[in-house]
Amino acid sequence: MFEKRKQIFGSILNKKQAQVTIFIIIAILLVASVAAFFIFRNVVQVAEVPANLEPAYNSFLSCIEEDTLTGINVLESQGGYIELPEFEQGSTYMPFSSHLNFLGNPIPYWYYVSGNNIQKEQVPSKSMMEEQLEEFVAQEIETCILDEWYGEGYTIIRGEEVEADVTINENDVSVVLDVPLRLEKANDTVLVNRHEVLVDSSLGKLYDSARQIYEYEQETLFLENYGVDTIRLYAPVDGNEITCAPKIWSADDVFNELEDAIVANVAALKVDSEELTLTEEDNKYFIVDLPVEENVRFLNSKQWPHSFEVNPTEGNLLVAEPVGNQPGMAALGFCYVPYHFVYDVNYPVLIQVYSESGEEIFQFPFAVVIQGNKPREPLDTQALDVPDPELCEYKNTEIQVNTFDNYLNPIQANISFACFGQVCNIGATGQDGSLTALFPQCINGQIVAEAQGYDKTKYFVESVEEGIIADLFLPKMYEQRVEIKLDGRVYSGEAVVTFINNETGLTETILYPDDNTVDLRQGQYDVEVLIYKNTTINIPETTREYCTEVTETGVGGFLGLTQEKCFDIEIPAQTVENALVGGGTESYYVLDSELESSSIIDINAEGLPTPRSIEDLQENYDLFENQDLTILFR
């Protein structure tokens, strides 16, 4: 009986203890609530700021808004960056650095090709933009000056710890700034820890459109395709012309015309056809079917980094030789000039996406790369946060370089190192013509020496072992004026003069008499002079029969039997306006002593009869092959 009562009593006691515990918890919560009321009774929201303190507080909010607008402007003008990514220099092979200098403002390329031919992209994400804007606002708010309110009886105390939270929306930017701000005046006091500002801005919408344009370009390469069309419209690429004289273009003239055409055609690209004032057919061509509603502008400038390269060339000229006037080809009955030139063209395009009012412009540059007359091949791009190891950053092989002229006299020269399309600047040899420096490791690299007045010299080396000594001999270059004589008399008409260095393979061609100077060095040269005269040779339209042996069909073909089959070939009428009337070829070894003691090259060529027919023209080319030149340095 006693044990049973003990159990009942223990159960009742436990229940009472549980009830007491609950009451204690409730009491603690009540005390905490009261304490919190007294502690935070002065912490109010923005709407609860007393009217007497609102002017000073609104001034602080204006600082937040102004700093946010400044950060937004920097983001929009710098392709979504406030803190720029690390700068990467371009090269002569690829002119793009990692940033485009636009009116003194560096803008990171969203897509570019590095100096060692690696495709890279650095497109900022929206979250990254928000993080950079948060850091910017948090830093700039410290410069917010509220001194004007001190003179009106305000006491303003601002905390040191600042945190910002930014959200970029389509049509506004939300900023929440956490920093204690205490305002006092007379009997009013307020402490605000959290400050909210909503800034009207199209940053989010413009950025989304810019991303769509970027992705559309990466998918379709529409900028490269427009560039290819421009090259084919404004530069010689493929074609045939009926003439017996070679076709010659100046590379400088071709590139200048291409530069002007690229600037104009890029600016003509539009998204909205209502902005165009061209013909309806041109409107359709220049309208880009972009998946955006905002206004878009495309810009290019001749002052921005770009590169043009064309092959084949002879010096600074594009030369296409005629077919049909060579020995053994008289049966053609006419001459024509076929040509095919291959271009590598690289230039930047700045893409601007702007609001209807034009007050906000988001811009980013894009590198346009055309290789071999075709748009670039897409390659795997480099992630933004993964740096690419540069060859030039790892110089760890010591090499001694000595530079001399042809008489073993030391000369000062700039030394660089080329490997796999990348060129690293090493330094310069001193007055003693010597330089000992660290080089990058590379198999089949090239040490390049350049000095003013001397021909560039290359030295192939495997820079993987210490103790290499490289001796480079730089031939001196001499400028010479060319004077042509035809049958012993001074000639002032048109001629094509070519110097081919047999050692280096370099070719220098001049269009005489407008261009009459060449730079030569000691060495073996093949010299060719072609003298042309304006003539009029009318070749009527003709039809010729051409016969050839073809394999028989059926059983005869199986047995290897052939039969003669003839075709009629129609040759259109043509007029030959330039005809070969003189010239010749000569192989000549040029000595340093000749170049040092002279400034003029006299070249005497023999004349040819003025052709009156296509047969005469063919005969002149046959005679030309056997004519020599007389070369004299004076």
The CATH class, in words, for 392-473 is: mainly beta
Cα separation values, 244 from 302, 464, 605, 614, Å: 37, 54, 20, 9
pLDDT for 383 equals: 37
Residue 297 pLDDT > 70: yes
Residue 278 pLDDT > 60: no
Could you tell me if 494 and 532 are in contact, meaning their C-beta atoms sit under 8 angstroms apart? yes
Check residues 558 and 175 and name the one with the higher pLDDT: 175
Domain ranges of the chain: 44-82+151-196, 210-375, 392-473, 478-633
Could you tell me if 432 and 401 are in contact, meaning their C-beta atoms sit under 8 angstroms apart? no
pLDDT range class, residue 420, cuts 50, 70, 90? low
- 39-48, 219-228, 407-416, 495-504: lowest mean pLDDT where? 39-48
pLDDT tens-place string over residues 369-393: 999 999 987 654 443 433 334 567 7
Distance CA 500, CA 7 (A): 120
H runs (alpha helix) in 366-405:
none
Assign 181 to helix, strand or coil.
strand
Average pLDDT for residues 490-499, to the nearest whole number? 90
Distance CA 512, CA 257 (A): 23
Assign 222 to helix, strand or coil.
helix
Q: Would you say the C-alpha torsion 280, 282, 288, 294 has a positive or negative sign?
A: negative
pLDDT for 554 equals: 54
User: Whose structure tokens read 């009428």?
Assistant: 573
Assign 159 to helix, strand or coil.
coil
Distance CA 314, CA 526 (A): 13
Which pTM was predicted?
A: 0.60
Q: Would you say the C-alpha torsion 283, 286, 292, 297 has a positive or negative sign?
A: negative
By percentage, how much of the chain surpasses pLDDT 70? 80
- Residue closest to 212 by CA, chosen among 288, 268, 145: 288
Contacts of 391 (CB under 8 A, 6+ apart): 116, 419, 420, 422, 424, 440, 442
The enclosing H or E element of 267 equals helix 251-268
For 55-85, give the DSSP string.
HHHHHHHHHHHHHHHHHHHHHHHTTT-SSPP
pLDDT tens-place string over residues 235-261: 999 887 877 778 888 888 999 999 999
User: Whose structure tokens read 């970027």?
Assistant: 214
Residue 334 pLDDT > 80: no
pLDDT for 571 equals: 59
User: Whose structure tokens read 């070894």?
Assistant: 589
Arithmetic mean of pLDDT over the chain: 81
Average pLDDT for residues 604-614, to the nearest whole number? 87
Average pLDDT for residues 588-595, to the nearest whole number? 92
pLDDT tens-place string over residues 167-221: 999 999 999 999 888 888 888 888 888 999 999 999 999 999 999 999 989 888 9
Residue 479 identity: E
Distance CA 572, CA 565 (A): 23
Could you tell me if 351 and 320 are in contact, meaning their C-beta atoms sit under 8 angstroms apart? no
Burial of 546 (0-12, 13-18, 19+ CB in 10 A): exposed
